[in-house]
């Protein structure tokens, strides 16, 4: 029996063919989510292709006050084949449009849209469409930022998210449907993460089962799903992977409310001198963090992120052995101590009191809880864990008290907290391996100016393995531009000088090439190439300056750069 099984595994591996180290096969490129290209990128001299993939961007911007609140797929590239998400169907506008309407009506918009996957092939210097596959996948009804639709490629197969927690197995060459793989078939179960694959060909993703009538007020069920390299689908409940986490009916501490506790927080102590704490409520079950793709480390360790359904301040990083047995579970609470009096002023003089602390507050606490800060896995983020070469893991978590900047956390191979960096919002950092070590690349946006100052600065930062800065690059462009509709090729864009503090980096997964050059896109509409030391090597303007839900890049084996702007896929090179 053992010989038969080994022979079958060998046959499956042979069918998949040798791994293509220069292919971009999944979110952030590889099983570790390292965002590292195996080659040097080409100079960005021309846009070699420009293909619209979202026909609804103007309507999406209208409903979101000029921004695009959509987390888009990273383009997948194997040889001369390019795979990308394309939206179709109908767009249901928000009526009437108000500042809160986009979040309230987003699920209604999503029900009428169709997410398709298309294969393009390079022929004669142009991308030629070969097939289209429409999926019945729908985003979890979060409102706000549209969650990921992210397939994965495994050898000759492509796996595409589907409805009711299912996935579709396609022949990636022809687009033919080979299998529809499902566990359960509940229409209120969602594929809640990008699809990931390990070097052995196992595919992983998470599902989230919600109440149809009250998805966020009724408890949820979450699971990790694995499609083995042998084609067997299995599922493990997230509560079974998070021993030690609060149970669904356990009480979790919430946050202060302004009705009972006027700003600045935390409230003054009780008459007996004890600290005032927020009220508690049921935690809800542990379930997957939406958009967080499982990552696989060099030893085969699988990393995933979970959170309590009703309280994101009870979030966890989980490490699993290849057989999905729990290796360790780490709470993201009580790792940080940089709230009041450290990153948050406690003098009561800030013009915006929600980013200030009451004078006399305990050192380091989160003003919203009067406890040591909790790192949070929130629905609007697209952060995924990154498996590190030394066996550790990174995760970009949300923290609101430090100007909504979040924190990047590093845990070692045993799940011990190593270090944090004071930015981590909506980011899957890239890893550049060099000189027997590695560096970490991420954005570092300052969203709220202190004491009425303008927002900014906006930085790209490279950290060493201990999360200490090696260099920083600051956005200094102050000009927003847009190419007029139907303008002829080569026509200059129309520009205005309206961003005195530079532009936010709209990147959730940067790319670093073999030479250590970092590629990022900005809300100024440019793609930047930043050399080691934080030196700008090149920039290329695409279509328009636009506020976007952070978008990724990819680099193929020839060094072509694939990037997104204003609902269009651009391919850059010489």
| pLDDT single digits (tens) 45-95 | 999 999 999 999 999 998 888 899 999 999 999 999 999 999 999 999 877
| pLDDT single digits (tens) 512-538 | 999 999 999 999 999 999 999 999 999
- Residue 497, class by beta-carbon neighbours within 10 Å (0-12 exposed, 13-18 middle, 19+ buried)? exposed
- Label residue 101 by pLDDT band (50, 70, 90): low
| pLDDT single digits (tens) 405-430 | 999 999 999 999 999 999 999 999 99
Q: Is the bond preceding 474 in cis, omega lying within 30 degrees of 0?
A: no
Which residues, including other chains, have CB under 8 Å from residue 34's CB and lie 6 or more apart? 28, 386, 387, 430, 431
Task: Say how far apart CA 569 and CA 50 lie, in whole Å.
Answer: 6
Query: What pLDDT does 2 receive?
Result: 35
Task: Say how far apart CA 443 and CA 440 lie, in whole Å.
Answer: 10
**Is residue 21 over pLDDT 90?**
no
DSSP 276: P
Q: pTM for the full model?
A: 0.93
From edge to edge, which strands make up the β-sheet containing 437-445?
430-434, 437-445, 458-463, 469-474
- Residue 300, class by beta-carbon neighbours within 10 Å (0-12 exposed, 13-18 middle, 19+ buried)? middle
Average pLDDT in the chain = 92
Q: Classify domain 2-248+283-336+374-573 by CATH number.
A: 2.140.10.10
Task: Say how far apart CA 509 and CA 81 lie, in whole Å.
Answer: 21
In degrees to the nearest 10, what's the CA dihedral of 75, 529, 527, 481? Answer: 180
**Is residue 293 over pLDDT 70?**
yes
In degrees to the nearest 10, what's the CA dihedral of 187, 188, 193, 197? Answer: -40
Q: What tokens appear for 262 in the block?
A: 């006027």
Instruction: Answer whether 274's CB lies under 8 Å from 301's CB.
Output: no
Which residues, including other chains, have CB under 8 Å from residue 276's CB and lie 6 or more apart? 261, 266, 267, 268, 269, 270, 370
| pLDDT single digits (tens) 145-160 | 999 999 999 999 999 9
A 10 A CB-CB count for 112 gives 10
DSSP class per residue in 213-254: S-TTTS--EEEEEEE-TTS-EEEEEHHHH-TTSPPTTSEEE-
């Amino acid at each position: 029996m053992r010989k038969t099984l080994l022979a079958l595994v060998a046959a499956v591996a042979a069918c998949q063919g040798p791994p293509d180290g220069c292919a971009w096969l999944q979110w952030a490129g590889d099983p570790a989510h390292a965002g590292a290209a195996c080659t040097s990128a080409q100079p960005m001299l021309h846009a070699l292709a420009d293909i619209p993939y979202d026909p609804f961007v103007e309507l999406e911007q209208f409903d979101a006050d000029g921004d695009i609140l959509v987390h888009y797929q990273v383009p997948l590239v194997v040889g001369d084949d390019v795979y990308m998400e394309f939206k179709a169907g109908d767009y249901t506008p928000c009526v009437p449009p108000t500042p809160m309407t986009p979040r309230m009506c987003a699920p209604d918009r999503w029900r009428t849209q169709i997410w398709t996957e298309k294969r393009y092939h390079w022929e004669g210097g142009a991308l030629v469409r070969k097939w289209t596959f429409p999926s019945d996948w729908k985003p979890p009804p979060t409102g706000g930022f549209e969650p990921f639709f992210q397939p994965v490629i495994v050898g000759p197969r492509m796996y595409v998210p589907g409805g009711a927690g299912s996935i579709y197995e396609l022949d990636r060459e022809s687009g033919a449907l080979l299998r529809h793989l499902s566990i359960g078939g509940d229409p209120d179960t969602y594929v809640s993460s990008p699809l990931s694959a390990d070097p052995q060909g196992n595919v992983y993703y998470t599902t989230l089962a919600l109440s149809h009538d009250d998805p966020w007020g009724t408890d949820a069920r979450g699971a990790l799903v694995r499609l083995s390299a042998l084609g067997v689908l299995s599922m493990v409940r997230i509560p079974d992977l998070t021993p030690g986490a609060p149970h669904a009916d356990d009480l979790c501490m919430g946050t202060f409310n302004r009705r009972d506790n006027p700003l600045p927080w935390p409230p003054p102590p009780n008459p007996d001198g004890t600290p005032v704490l927020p009220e508690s409520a049921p935690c809800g079950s542990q379930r997957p963090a939406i958009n967080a793709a499982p990552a696989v480390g060099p030893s085969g360790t699988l990393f995933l992120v979970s959170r309590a359904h009703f309280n994101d301040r009870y979030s966890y990083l989980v490490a699993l052995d290849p057989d999905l047995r729990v290796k360790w579970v780490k709470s993201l609470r009580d790792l940080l101590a940089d709230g009041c009096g450290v990153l948050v002023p406690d003098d009561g003089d800030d013009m915006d009191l929600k980013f200030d602390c009451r004078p006399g507050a305990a050192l380091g606490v989160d003003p919203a809880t009067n406890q040591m800060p909790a790192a949070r896995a929130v629905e609007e983020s697209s952060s995924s864990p990154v498996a590190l070469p030394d066996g550790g893991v990174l995760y970009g978590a949300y923290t609101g008290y430090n100007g909504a900047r979040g924190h990047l956390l590093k845990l070692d191979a045993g799940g011990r907290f190593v270090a944090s960096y004071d930015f981590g919002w909506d980011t899957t950092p890239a890893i550049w391996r060099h000189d027997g070590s590695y560096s970490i690349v991420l954005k570092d946006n300052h969203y709220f100016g202190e004491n009425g100052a303008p927002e900014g600065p906006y930085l790209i930062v490279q950290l060493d393995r201990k999360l200490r800065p090696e260099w920083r690059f600051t956005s200094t462009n102050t000009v927003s531009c847009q190419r007029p509709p139907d303008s002829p090729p080569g026509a200059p864009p129309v520009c205005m000088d309206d961003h005195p503090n530079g532009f936010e980096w709209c990147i959730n997964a940067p790319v670093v090439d073999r030479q250590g050059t970092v590629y990022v896109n900005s809300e100024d509409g440019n793609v930047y190439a930043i050399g080691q030391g934080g030196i700008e090597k090149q920039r290329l303007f695409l279509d328009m300056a636009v506020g976007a839900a952070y978008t990724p890049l990819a680099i193929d084996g020839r060094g072509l750069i694939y990037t997104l702007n204003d609902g269009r896929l651009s391919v850059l090179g010489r």
